[in-house]
Structure formats: structure tokens, C-alpha cells
Amino acid sequence: MRWDVSAGLEDAHGLPRHALLETLYRTPTWREIERGQGDLPAWRAGAHRLLEERAGHSLPRLHDAWVAARHLIRANVLLARRLRPAYRTAILSNADESLRDRLRELGIHDLFDTVVSSAEEGMAKPDLEIYRRAAGRLGLPPEACVFVDDYDANVRAAETLGMRGIVYRVDHGQDLAALLAGVGVLP
């Protein structure tokens, strides 16, 4: 997540901090989308209306600008390549139904042994069952897994199953390779 871009857009348009996140991803409509239900265009339009309500005036499509600013973190892509085949890797994502297509478009779909998408599973993090499914698809018990996420509540949920958890925030200047090394995961 490009929190720096989000903050810049919010500042530029006089919005409170986290307004983009809250109107896009902290709504009942998103909870449906991430579970494979709902209508994507209606969700995006509704999020834009919520954002304009907060602003009290018309706005350009700030959510689209925020999403467009996302990019691959080259060091992490290289790290994922170096981790294989010694480690099994997975994506466990609260995502809409387009996740697999986006991974192919980005050219990183081959970096992971499995992809567990909330929209396909009908449940989302921090539901404990989705973590169990991810571990199971890797053929591992949860205790053998390290879970990395940028949201503390998701990491804490994984830890309740015995996974080692890492909260990773690129916008805080954290180094994922160093964080993984701290729990014994070395390429």
C-alpha cells in the first residue's frame, strides 16, 4: 500500500488522514467485494461519493490515483525469487476477484506456490480459517509458517494459530529481508 501517496492526496485535497483507506476499504461494500460478492463498479462509485461527502465538494478520482501509484517493490520481488525453492511461498490477500489476473499482468504469478484470495474463498483476514487454508495449500502446519502483512490485526490473527508474524510497512523504511532474517528465514 502506498501510504505516502495516500497521505499526499489527502493533504492536497484537504481530507483527513486515512480518508482514502476508510472510504475504499473500511466499508460494508468492500467487505462484500473482498468475499467475492457485490459489484466492483458500484463499490468504486460509492467510495468516491463517500470521499466527496467527507470533503464537502467535488473531487477528482483520488482512489484511482492512489491505486495507480502502487508498484512492485523490486527488492521484495528479488527476495521472493531468492526464497524459492528452499521455501514454499504464498499470497494470502484480501482482494477482489481480479487478483490472479493482476499477478499475471505484473509478471509475478510464478513466484508463489499458491494464491489464497479472499474473494475466491468467501472469507477474509483476520478470519482464522483463511490462514489455515493458506498453510494447508502449502502443505505446512501453521507453526511452520511466517505471515507478513502491513496490518497489525491480520498479523496478530496469524499468530494466534502459531504462525510467526511480521508487520511490514515499506512506508516506514522497513527492510523485508532483514525482518525475515530476524525470524530465521534466509534466502
124 falls in which pLDDT band (50, 70, 90)?
Answer: very high
For residues 64 and 84, membership in a common domain is answered with no
Percent of the residues in the chain that have a pLDDT greater than 70, as a whole number = 100
Instruction: Please indicate, yes or no, if residue 98 is contained in any of the structural domains.
Output: yes
> Per-residue DSSP letters for 156-185?
HHHHHTT-EEEE--GGGT--HHHHHHTTT-
Report how far residue 83's alpha carbon sits from residue 21's, in angstroms, rounded to the nearest whole number: 31
3 falls in which pLDDT band (50, 70, 90)?
Answer: confident
What's the CATH number where 97 sits? 3.40.50.1000
pLDDT in tens, 130-175: 999 999 999 999 999 999 999 999 999 999 999 999 999 988 899 9
Instruction: Please indicate, yes or no, if residue 93 is contained in any of the structural domains.
Output: yes
For residues 81 and 171, membership in a common domain is answered with yes
**Domain end among 29, 49, 68:** 68
> Nearest CA to 6 among 69, 66, 59?
66
Instruction: Please indicate, yes or no, if residue 175 is contained in any of the structural domains.
Output: yes
Average pLDDT over residues 58-85: 93
Residue 123 has what pLDDT? 98
Residue 135 has what pLDDT? 98
Q: How far is CA 180 from the centre of its chain?
A: 18
What's the chain's average pLDDT? Answer: 95
Residue 7 has what pLDDT? 92
Residue 178, pLDDT > 80, answer yes
For residues 44 and 127, membership in a common domain is answered with no
Show the beta-strand stretches assigned E in the chain: 90-93, 114-117, 146-149, 164-167
Residue 107 belongs to domain spanning: 74-181
**Domain end among 24, 49, 68:** 68
Structurally, the chain folds into a number of domains equal to 2
Show the beta-strand stretches assigned E in 39-94: 90-93
For residues 33 and 113, membership in a common domain is answered with no
Instruction: Please indicate, yes or no, if residue 157 is contained in any of the structural domains.
Output: yes
Residue 1, pLDDT > 80, answer no
Instruction: Please indicate, yes or no, if residue 173 is contained in any of the structural domains.
Output: yes
Q: Between helices 128-138 and 152-160, what is the axis angle to 10°?
A: 70
For residues 64 and 106, membership in a common domain is answered with no
Q: Residue 29 burial by CB count (10 A; 0-12/13-18/19+): exposed, middle or buried?
A: buried
Report how far residue 160's alpha carbon sits from residue 108's, in angstroms, rounded to the nearest whole number: 29
Report how far residue 147's alpha carbon sits from residue 158's, in angstroms, rounded to the nearest whole number: 7
pLDDT in tens, 74-95: 999 999 999 999 999 999 999 9
Instruction: Please indicate, yes or no, if residue 186 is contained in any of the structural domains.
Output: no
Q: Please tell me which residue, 122 or 4, carries the higher pLDDT value.
A: 122
Residue 77 has what pLDDT? 96
